[in-house]
Structure 1
Amino acid sequence: MNFASDNVTGASAPILDALVQANAGAMPAYGEDPLTASLTARFREVFEHPELAVYPVATGTAANALALAAMVPPYGLCLCHAQAHVTTDECGAPEFFTHGAKLAHLPGTGARIDPGALEAALARLPRSVHRMPAHALSLSQASEAGLVYAPEAVARLSGIARRHGLTVHMDGARLANAVARLGCRPAEITWRAGVDVLSFGASKNGALAAEAIVVFRPDLADSIAYRRKRAGHLLSKGRLLAAQLHAYLADDHWLANASHANRLADRLARGLRAVAGVRLAWPVEANEVFPILPVRLARGLRAGGAVFYDWPTESLAPGESVGEDEVLVRLITAFSTPEAEVDALLALARDSA
């Protein structure tokens, strides 16, 4: 019963089949192959954008860091939530690849940026050569607390950023889960809502190792090809990245995978809410569940073979808290999580309560 992450899973069958097919024969290297060449048209179709550029990479860290490097100069700031993945889990990669830019932290319940806090932060930034100016805003979709930004929320934050001259980046590691939950078109929560550059995730949702930097503003795309090569993220056998992304998007496979993960997260949440002493820290809006458990129950789950992480409490809703005999944990479902595994965890929780 491994609910630690959606990174613990393997790859889905359609993506593995696509890799086997792409593996046969010889093709030009370094992204000059026909699979990579046709990827731009595929992304333009999915995102309904006639001019976007797409740059496949193997990791989300590379996608985020290289995207921000194209958006923020070495002397600039990127604003993000204090719990955003770009600032808590990238080992300083954005700062490294921007050659010194800083990440400035913003508050917000459920790891979503509060618009008022963004306005206030930008208003109080001094206009002085002695201080770093803000150049970009980064949004996590879904947030680190599993909450999604609806199109109007993205548009509101992007509008604030735009009025202050900032570009907007979206860390879409779980974009598929957000699109599936909201039932919207991908364009509606990205470029049509003001996003300039998207880190498009696939590895958490069925790919073996595939992400992409999707650039909606042509003027921001100029340097990314060079940055990707210089950083060592231009794969010689680029067709194997492109093959994964083609299979991921084909026949809405990415959304089917995400819908399954979301549905099982809902099932898990419903079952946990029925267990004595358990409450949810935040609503379930993607494929992550954050229950507040009695410590005794958490120990019982782990003793019974359940794997999950404890989670920080900084962005709990006002009035919510975790008691001394409680712990906030994160449970994640994936595209391949079986219903029986969720039911086994729930049975264990009832027995351990």
Structure 2
Amino acid sequence: MTFASDNTGPAHPKVMDAVAAANTGYALPYGVEAEMERVTDRIRTLLDVPRAEVRLVPTGTAANMLLLGTLADPHQQIYCTDIAHVLVDECGAVELTSGGARLTPVPHAGGKMTADALARAMATTREGDVHNHQRGPVSITNLTERGTLYRPAEVAELAAVAARHGRPLHMDGARFANAVAASGAAPSEMVRDLAALSFGGTKNGCLGVEAAVLFDPDRAWTLDLRRKRAGHLFSKHRFLSAQMAAYLDGDLWLEMAAAANAACARLAEGLRSLDGVRLMFPPEGNILYAEWPRSAHEALQRTGGGYGIEGDMDVAPDAPVAARLVCNWATEAADCDAFVVRLKAALA
């Protein structure tokens, strides 16, 4: 077992079965197979966005770059937090696909962008000055990169700030399922103020599929062209739609997210019981951050580690280690308990 990432977890057997079933006979290519029509209808109903356009891609980076590239002009800036995946983990993909739009970092608070911080960032933009990037879309991540949760009211506040300047709001929902499961809100409530959603599946039990959901159908042709030009239009598309159909069938996506969240809550409870361990942010989904002494980290590494490290350990060699632990749908209670036992021994 490893807590390094939810990407390390297996695909769900129902997803695997769906892919195998799709590998029978013939189907039209490039997203015009019958299953894709059903997936589109399901997502529109689920999110209560009857006019939305849905396009499937294999990675979260692809969904983000294509949606933000569609929403932003090359001379605009895209506001995101200073720890946003689109900023620090996508190798300039958004800038590439948008034709040069700049990602502007907004300081986060517990992983989240606040309405006040966004308002300040947008106010300082020299709108109307030909020498500068102009205001563009806002992008947030839910769950956040720190495992915290935007609730619908918080999303609405950010959307209101963006709307004052006539700009759209995008959500990187690589862990949207975990956010919905944690919030108790309906999926439609979580997206009612958005212009676009990257609807994740890969981290939550799929082999590799995300839905780029664009709420304005008038922009769909631009999205289609960007997808093709970027090399993300699958020919044997049925293997993407089969995954997403199985993922959404019977709310499997929420069941898996709830299981991952529950495992993370159990792990957090165990870590709180240990002297010398501090949770850095409230774990609201399937990600938690915790600090413990460097000596304990070194002892754990000798027995396999099993988690990520935040920051550069060489910068402050005497400081506590900031560890990132992520649960997935298949994480078992015994895995969580065993890690706590290992860490307790390392702290001794």
TM range (shorter): over 0.9
Query: Within 1, Cα distance between the matches of 2:58 and 2:244?
Result: 11
Q: Deviation per CA, 1:246-303: give whole Å up to 9, x if none.
A: 0001111000000000001000001011111001000011101101111111222222
> What does 1:28-107 correspond to in 2, within 5 Å?
28-107=28-107
- In 2, the alpha carbon distance for the partners of 1:115 and 1:30 equals 40
Alignment of 1:228-307 (within 5 A): 228-307=227-306
Matching of residue 175 in structure 1 with residue 169 in structure 2 = no
Give 2:329's match in structure 1, choosing from 309, 315, 335: 335
Report SS of the residue matched to 2:6. coil
Q: CA offsets per residue over residues 28-73 of structure 1, 9 Å max, x none?
A: 1111211112221111121122111100000111100010110111
* SS of 1:300 mapped into structure 2: helix
In structure 1, the partner of 2:9 is 9
Segments of structure 2 that go 5 or more residues without pairing to the other structure are none
* TM superposition shift of 1:323: 9.2
Counterpart-to-counterpart distance in 2, 1:197 and 1:352? 45
- SS of residue in 1 equivalent to 2:7: coil
1:144 and 1:152 map into 2 onto residues whose CA distance is 19
2: CA distance, partners of 1:323 / 1:178: 35
Q: CA shift at 1:312, angstroms?
A: 3.5
Kindly indicate whether the alpha-carbon contact (under 8 Å) linking 1:306 and 1:345 is maintained by their aligned counterparts in 2: no
2: CA distance between counterparts of 1:302 and 1:10? 24
Q: Deviations over 1:162-199 (max 9, x none)?
A: 11111111000000000000011111111x1x110001
Say whether the 8 Å CA contact 2:202–2:209 is kept in structure 1: yes
What are the residue-to-residue correspondences of 1:147-186 with 2, within 5 Å? 147-186=148-187
Query: Match of 1:123?
Result: 123
Q: Secondary structure at the match of 1:38?
A: helix
The answer to whether the 8 Å contact 2:81/2:108 transfers is yes
Q: Please give the residue correspondences for 1:215-234 in structure 2 after superposition, counting only pairs within 5 Å.
A: 215-234=214-233
Q: Provide the alpha-carbon RMSD of the alignment.
A: 1.3
Identity %: 40
Alignment partner of 2:49: what SS?
coil
Q: Which amino acid aligns with 1:179?
A: V
SS of the residue corresponding to residue 291 of structure 1 reads: strand
224-233 vs 198-207, greater mean Cα deviation: 224-233
Stretches (4+) displaced over 2 A: 219-222, 322-325
Partners of 1:70 and 1:143 in 2: how far apart?
A: 23
User: Contact conserved, 1:147 with 1:285, CA < 8 A, in 2?
Assistant: yes
Q: 1:219 Cα shift? A: 2.5
Question: Is the partner of 1:69 in helix, strand or coil?
Answer: helix
Give the distance between the partners of 1:270 and 1:102, measured in 2 at CA.
40
Paired with 1:301 and 1:228, the residues of 2 have a C-alpha distance of: 43
Q: Distance in 1 between matches of 2:318 and 2:223?
A: 48
CA contact (8 A) 1:66 1:227 kept: yes
Shift of 1:10: 2.0
CA contact (8 A) 1:172 1:199 kept: yes
Paired residue secondary structure (2:203): helix
Q: Is residue 301–residue 345 contact of structure 1 (8 Å, CA) maintained in 2?
A: no
* Correspondence for 1:319: none
The one-letter code of the counterpart of 1:237 is K
**Is the 8 Å Cα contact of residues 53 and 213 (structure 2) preserved in structure 1?**
yes
* SS of alignment partner, residue 110 of structure 2: helix
Q: Is the 8 A contact 2:83 2:108 kept in 1?
A: no
Cα distance in 2, alignment partners of residues 325 and 121 from structure 1: 32
Counterpart of 1:222 in 2: which secondary structure? helix
Provide the TM-score with structure 1 as the length reference. Answer: 0.95
CA distance in 2, matches of 1:27, 1:47: 27
**Structure 1 CA distance, aligned partners of 2:307 and 2:203?**
16
TM-score, normalization by structure 2: 0.96
For 2:113 and 2:160, the matched residues in 1 are separated by 14
Equivalence for 1:318:
none
User: What is the letter of the counterpart of residue 324 of structure 1?
Assistant: D
What do the CA deviations read for 1:64-92 (whole angstroms, capped 9, x no partner)?
00101101111110000010000000000
Q: Matches of 2:319 and 2:31 in 1, distance apart? A: 54
For 1:316, the equivalent position in structure 2 comes to none
Q: Equivalents in 2 of 1:284, 1:221: separation in Å? A: 36
